[in-house]
Amino acid sequence: MQRISVPGQAPLKQPWRRITGVFSFATALVWAAPGQALIEYTAAQEETAVELVEQLEQRHYSKLEYTDELSSQHLDNYLDTLDGGRLFFTAAEVASFDRYRYEMDDTLPKGDLDAAFEIFNSFHQKMIARLEGLVEQLPTMVDAMRFDVDERYQLDPETIAWAKDDAELDERWRLHIKNQVLNLRLADKPADEIVETLERRYNNQLTRVSQYNAQDAFQIYANALTELYDPHTNYLSPRRSENFNINMRLSLEGIGAVLALEDEYTRVSRIVPSGPADKQGELKPSDRIVAVAQGADGEFVDVIGWRLDEVVNLIRGPKDSVVRLQVLPAKAGADAERRSIQIVRNKVRLEEQSAQKRILELPRADGETLRVGVIDIPTFYIDFEAMRRGDENYKSTTRDVRRLLGELEEENVAGIIIDLRNNGGGSLQEANELTGLFIEYGPTVQIRHSSRRVWRDGKRLRSTYYDGPLMVMINRLSASASEIFAGAIQDYDRGLVVGDRSYGKGTVQTMVPLTEGQLKITESKFYRISGDSTQHRGVVPDITFPSLYDTAEIGESALDHALDWDQINPVRHRRYSNVDTLVPQLATFFEERSAMNPEFLYLQEQLEVAAENRSIQSVSLNEAVRRAEREAREAKALEIENRRRAALGEDPIASLDELDEEDALAEDDEDTVNNEDAVDQGSAATMAAIDESPEVISAAELAKEDVLLSEAGSILVDTLMLQEQAYALSTAKNEN
């Protein structure tokens, strides 16, 4: 049995959620799929069902029993999972399944899967019938569409009730397909290619739907139950279990992105630090992948509506091969222009995820310039294999940061910023060891098992540590091990924590083998030494920055059935400073300074626009209206950009296209410089010397590159100033 922590990898929504989002169709209603054989469950799945319920009731942290109440929720969740878009079942059909509502808690523990497979087969037949009818009738449907009438399309299917009859279902299909056609028109798809594109999309879906088997049905039904316990407790079918094991071994060759399925889109949940996508730089969290192409000139395959594992398989490929993605940016609507991104597949190497250092040169109020060291930690890594071999130079987060701290102290930096933004976690051992570099000794984390036994981990022996000024930066994608470290620094009052509220994953999962597949079950929770859980709430920064991510979509609190935040007894611990008493003054300084920072104001305005776009519940199906709305959004974006440029003394631009041209020129210049450097650097000795010299960046350069890090550095400078003033005042009193 293997205990694992899977930090920050929770999807935007559970990956098996809303399968109707995977299959979007509209045709005249056809209720039977002639010749389609029913899917039947196996004896192995009967045994697996028994084991599944036993493990959930006996080992899950919540101690939740599978009762009538949970059986009722299980049925609702199963139907929502299958038909979350309310596109297949009518209200009467849903009501017909009520005979199972309070029976599944009696039948499933005995291995009886009749309810699961009857409902699935009904749904499966409707999918196939709809797709077959759609493929046949699509040309006629599109020809009959008018885009000068005022109709609206509901964006969030979860707000829609079950259709009262077949006619209402047919109308939903019509509007759904019309919206897809309009999106293609607005994306400048040639009119004669729209029907062909949609026919190809739905023919591909029909092929995949027809291949559904008992493993697919059982996995969906099982997870409709497991996710009621918490979003990280999942049943993994044999196929999905193998994919999970590949990811845990870090042997998967691909682009280095964690993907999730939401509605009919494959969304980017997280970018793996130092992976191919991270290095390429264009793919961002919450972007939607709509098409995939192989090689530099391969044809794009539309993946809207595909199953998640099939999209992943398409993106995977041999090392050094090229994959091209068409994406809709996170902040854009479905009718936005698609961006093409080319990525060279590769493995994520451990050495490339290493902590990195840089030096910021920041001004003080008195005109003096202070040097502040920054250590960026993309993940909590350790080369267990090399350590077990006895390799004295094995890689680990703590060993690398210890070395970087020493080098930065030699550079006479006035303080250190530990940057944990986008760090999804990793080794719990390394989170504890890293905390030990900044405290003399003491506990770091408490872990409570489902048995309610609590044990503590941390630095057990007194030793030297960095005792200079310290700050930790976090954001919404800082999870698990990152939250343990940040929480410990905050609890010990060892330094300030700034940024956005962290992810909030405070649970530990265990892999349990079953007769068929595996169960990943939440068996323990993390707690800070203050007694507070990191679960759900995350780490709340001392000074909060604007969130770059939609907290309704990203984070533990965005997931259904997430375990609650709670507390246990605190651990007695030392407080190293009174830096927390300075927070009110520091917050005032931050607000005053950021209100005058053009880059910070630009960021805030962008986030406000994104929030406005996310609040839209429905869209017009009138083409003129939609084009006018898009033009208004682009005009507003241009206005915000030119406001920023004016504040910085730069020339305005006439269109947003000029920004793309500037970016392209900047990339060309950077490539040229890099190529020249490669020629000039010469010997390995020169290369080594360059590697040891930290990057030094000025305040002006930093503000353009990373305004949040710039503000964090300024807060650290303010902290040093206030501490110096307090020390001077205390010294003067003592002398008197």
At residue 240, the pLDDT reads 67
What residues contact 37, with CB distance under 8 A and at least 6 apart?
Answer: none
At residue 208, the pLDDT reads 81
Count, residues in the chain: 736
State the amino acid at position 644 in one-letter form.
Answer: R
- Calpha distance 159→129 (Å, rounded): 25
State the amino acid at position 265 in one-letter form.
Answer: Y
- Calpha distance 282→341 (Å, rounded): 7
- Is 63 marked active-site? no
What residues contact 729, with CB distance under 8 A and at least 6 apart?
Answer: none
What residues contact 705, with CB distance under 8 A and at least 6 apart?
Answer: 697
At residue 567, the pLDDT reads 96
Averages of pLDDT over runs of 10 residues in the chain (736 residues) are 35 35 33 66 97 97 96 97 91 96 97 97 92 91 95 87 93 93 90 91 85 93 97 87 48 71 78 83 87 90 81 87 89 70 81 84 87 94 83 88 96 96 89 96 95 93 94 95 96 97 93 94 96 96 92 88 95 92 96 93 90 87 95 91 90 82 54 38 33 70 88 95 84 69
Per DSSP, the three-state class of 83 is helix
**Active-site residue among 178, 505, 520, 525?**
505
- Is 704 marked active-site? no
Taking the domains of the chain in order of start, what are their residue ranges?
Answer: 8-237, 251-344, 351-584
At residue 482, the pLDDT reads 96
Cα 202 to Cα 167, 183, 336, 337, 379: the distances in Å are: 22, 16, 22, 22, 40
Handedness of CA 356, 359, 360, 364 (dihedral sign): positive
What residues contact 712, with CB distance under 8 A and at least 6 apart?
Answer: 417, 471, 473, 498, 499
Here the tokens at position 303 are 């993946």
At residue 441, the pLDDT reads 94
Q: Which CATH number fits domain 251-344: 2.30.42.10, 3.40.50.720, 3.90.220.20, 2.70.40.10?
A: 2.30.42.10
In this prediction the pTM is 0.81
Closest CA to 713 of 456, 358, 261: 358
- Strand pairing of 496-499 and 543-544? parallel
At residue 346, the pLDDT reads 85
- Is 480 marked active-site? yes
Here the tokens at position 417 are 């910023």
- Calpha distance 100→112 (Å, rounded): 12
At residue 334, the pLDDT reads 56
Per DSSP, the three-state class of 513 is strand
Q: Which CATH number fits domain 351-584: 2.60.40.10, 3.90.226.10, 3.40.50.1260, 3.40.50.1000?
A: 3.90.226.10
Specify the residue for token string 């940016």: 329
- Calpha distance 635→646 (Å, rounded): 16
**Active-site residue among 263, 278, 376, 491?**
491
State the amino acid at position 266 in one-letter form.
Answer: T
Closest CA to 15 of 288, 222, 329, 259: 259
Phi-psi region of 531 (alpha: psi -120 to 50; beta: other; left: phi over 0): left
Closest CA to 377 of 472, 259, 248, 285: 472
- Strand pairing of 518-527 and 442-449? antiparallel
**Active-site residue among 269, 480, 482, 710?**
480
